């Protein structure tokens, strides 16, 4: 099994958590952001992560998590019960299709328009800050977002961790946005504890 990945990638970190949780052996193939030809040749597109499992090529981090759970059911990432699985899948879709739009909007303004549209930034920043309350509520009486460690934690942690800390060497605009616009207060103590709890888990 090979994982094509790149440094600092939040989406690659999702898969790194899942693989370690399932205790699967994998060879990491690190690519340069400036040369995506290897990934394009293998998967037909240029984004990482890409998983090569004995010739089965899967790209897009949520798709990889679902594939891993179906192919290697030990240490599951998704509940077996249909209703519980649907709840978790709904969270994954919300995070990817709704939540991620807010930091992306801020980063696009900062990197693109001159001067950036402060109203767009302000609205997206408000949503990011407000979402911290939702994540905190999910962790009421729980160690992980849906009780046991699951795909939800893999999906969210690489982005929410910036509310706790960012490696100073990582100066990617998107990550700086996540750092600047996710401020934890005392009311977010369960979320802060979750960030440290997941940070202590192994990754491949």
> 127-145: per-residue pLDDT in tens?
999 999 999 999 999 999 9
Q: What is residue 53's predicted lDDT score, i.e. its pLDDT?
A: 98
Alpha helices in the chain (DSSP H): 10-21, 37-43, 61-71, 82-94, 101-111, 118-138, 151-160, 173-180, 189-199
Instruction: Say whether domain 2-71 belongs to CATH 3.40.30.10.
Output: yes
Coil, helix or strand for 88? helix
- Among 1.20.1050.10, 3.40.50.1970, 3.40.50.300, 3.40.50.10800, name the CATH number for the domain at 82-199: 1.20.1050.10
Give the count of alpha carbons within 13 A of 139, CB side only. 24
- Cα–Cα distance for residue pair 69/19, rounded to 1 Å: 10
pLDDT-derived band at 161, boundaries 50, 70, 90: very high
pLDDT, tens only, 25-36:
999 999 999 999
Would you kindly state where each structural domain of the chain is located, as residue ranges?
2-71, 82-199
């Amino acid at each position: 099994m090979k994982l094509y990945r790149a440094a600092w990638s939040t989406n690659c970190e999702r898969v790194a958590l899942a693989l370690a949780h399932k205790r699967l052996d994998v060879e990491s193939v690190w690519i340069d952001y400036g040369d995506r030809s290897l990934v394009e040749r293998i998967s037909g597109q240029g984004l990482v992560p890409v998983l090569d499992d004995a010739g089965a090529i899967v790209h897009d981090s949520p798709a990889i998590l679902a594939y891993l759970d179906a192919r290697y059911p030990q240490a599951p990432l998704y509940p077996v019960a249909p209703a519980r699985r649907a709840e978790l899948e709904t969270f994954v879709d919300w995070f990817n299709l709704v939540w991620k739009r807010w930091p992306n909007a801020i980063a696009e303004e900062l990197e693109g328009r001159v001067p950036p549209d402060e109203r767009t930034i302000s609205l997206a920043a408000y949503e990011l800050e407000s979402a911290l309350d939702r994540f905190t509520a999910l962790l009421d009486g729980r160690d992980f977002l849906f009780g046991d460690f699951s795909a939800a934690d893999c999906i969210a942690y690489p982005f929410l961790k910036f509310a706790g800390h960012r490696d100073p060497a990582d100066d990617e605009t998107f990550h700086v946005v996540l750092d600047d616009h996710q401020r934890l207060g005392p009311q977010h103590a369960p979320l802060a504890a979750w960030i440290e709890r997941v940070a202590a888990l192994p990754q491949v």
